[in-house]
Amino acid sequence: MNYYIVTSEVFGSLIPGNIQFAHRSQDNNKWVVTTTETIVDVILTFNSVPELSAYTFDNHADWTGGEVGIDEWDIEETEYLNGL
């Protein structure tokens, strides 16, 4: 699995069936995404779910609008559903 932050434009070009988890930023311009695809045009790349989760906690205002980020269990267990 690959862990990224990408622009909304890049996210729109991904194959939905390859996406395991996706979460849009508060400003609707970026996405946290886990996918089997290898993406070259990324904002950030992470090596693991814990690293990705920690980033969202450090930058929580961008991702949740609250005082918390995206939990590891949420990234690992929530399945992306295209169109929802």
When pLDDT is cut at 50, 70 and 90, the band that residue 51 belongs to is very high
Q: What is the pLDDT, as a whole number, of residue 76?
A: 94
Region 14-34 average pLDDT: 95
Q: Classify the phi-psi angles of 65: left when phi > 0, otherwise alpha if psi is within -120 to 50, otherwise beta.
A: left
Region 63-80 average pLDDT: 92
When pLDDT is cut at 50, 70 and 90, the band that residue 49 belongs to is very high
Residue that has been written with the tokens 């508060």 in this structure: 26
pTM: 0.91
Q: What is the pLDDT, as a whole number, of residue 83?
A: 56
Q: Which residues contact 24 (CB under 8 A, 6 or more apart)?
A: 8, 30, 31
Domain boundaries, the chain: 2-77
